[in-house]
Copies of this chain bind each other. A is one copy, B any other.
Amino acid sequence: MSTIPVGLVGVTGYTGMELARILSNHPSMKLVRVTSRAEAGKTLADIYPFLYGMELGALEITAPDVDDLEKNCRLVFLAVPHKTAMNIGGELYDRGVKVVDLSADFRIRDRETYEEWYKVDHTREDLLTKAVYGLPEFYRDKVREASLVANPGCYPTSAIVGLTPALAEGLIETDDIVIDSKSGASGAGRGAKVGSLFCEVADSFRAYGLTTHRHTPEIEQELSVAAGKDLTVSFNTHLLPIDRGILSTIYTKMKNGVTAEDVRSTYEKAYAAEQMIRVLPEGVLPETRWVRGTMFCDVGLVPDPRTGRLIILAAIDNLCRGASGQAVANANLMLGLDETEGLRMAPMMP
């Protein structure tokens, strides 16, 4: 078995750490370049002591260099902020290097929408039609052919997996959707901010970014595809005192005549063939720890005849399924490997 050389641009954050964890055990992909302007010259283990004694720990960090990446990598993961990703991703694309971009730069197909929510100009509008939105369950075939994949946001992954079957089958009203999401603190990144300190997050709970979160247009874009019509959702986020995990509680109105059985059979059928989505049995509700460290998106279904609502719960690990793990799944597809290669981890409990 030959191994495929890949690179990672931007190694110092939690998504970089998670990618290192996953790739350290990947059977067919080998991380041969990791770049960081600030840390160049050090080994990975110097900045991530948890990698001491592992082969990957000895890898030297280099400054980002497109020539070098082109020469040595068949595919490059980008774990850099939006705007930066657009530029380096565009350059790599131009040279024929496959790219999985973990930023938001190529997720929004409409340039104006992107610019409105992200407050920057998009300098590579030409690539917006070429980039594939990398949610494998819905774009698997396109990802296989893609040179540039926009890796989905963490919250959107949970919301889109949670809502798509109900919208696609017309079980719910499209004008009354509320997505109440809660995320662990790793979602805020590894930057040194007072608001992310242990003593500001532990033993507390708060909402943030209500009505203005940048994942909103991404969610609406994909749900509109599912519904076959443009829709608007109320998407709102909260900060959990946990490391990893997203739970989205999604409130919808069932259309007249839709039964609990309709709901269950629709979801079970929609995801019957999916290894990485688990529609939990009736009465079982997802917990973030059940997906910790894994690619699973767990879906719980609670029809409520008393109020005519359908409550959908969707849980993922924001760093694995919501970022680096999904990036590896996309890379697997782009490189002709099995989608879940290196990704069949069991959850860590407790």
Given contacts A54-B346, A284-B49, A288-B204, contact A309 B198 (CB under 8 A): no
The yes or no answer to A155 lying at the interface (CB within 8 A) is: no
Chain A interface residue number, banded: 35 or more
| In-complex Cβ contact of A192 among B21, B197, B293 (8 A) | B197
Question: Would you call A285 an interface residue if the criterion is a C-beta within 8 Å of the partner chain's C-beta atoms?
Answer: yes
Q: Are A240 and B302 in contact (CB under 8 A)?
A: no
Q: What is the copy number of this chain in the assembly?
A: 4
Q: Which residue of B lies closest to A271 (CB)?
A: B53
Are B349 and A21 in contact, with the CB atoms below 8 A?
Answer: yes
Contact bitstring A320-350, B, C-beta under 8 A = 1, else 0: 0000000000000000000000001111111
Task: Give min CB distance, A208 to chain B, whole Å.
Answer: 7
B21 touching A53 by the CB < 8 A rule?
no
Contact with B along A198-215 (1 / 0, CB 8 A): 111111111110110000
Q: Is A25 an interface residue (CB 8 A)?
A: yes
Q: Which residues of chain B come closer than 8 Å to A200, judged between CB atoms?
A: 198, 350
Question: Is the C-beta of A95 less than 8 angstroms from some C-beta in chain B?
Answer: no
Q: How far is the CB of A249 from chain B (nearest CB, A)?
A: 6
| 12 pairs of residues in contact across A and B, judged by CB atoms under 8 Å | A178-B251, A182-B182, A185-B197, A202-B202, A203-B243, A206-B286, A210-B302, A232-B307, A241-B241, A251-B251, A293-B293, A348-B348
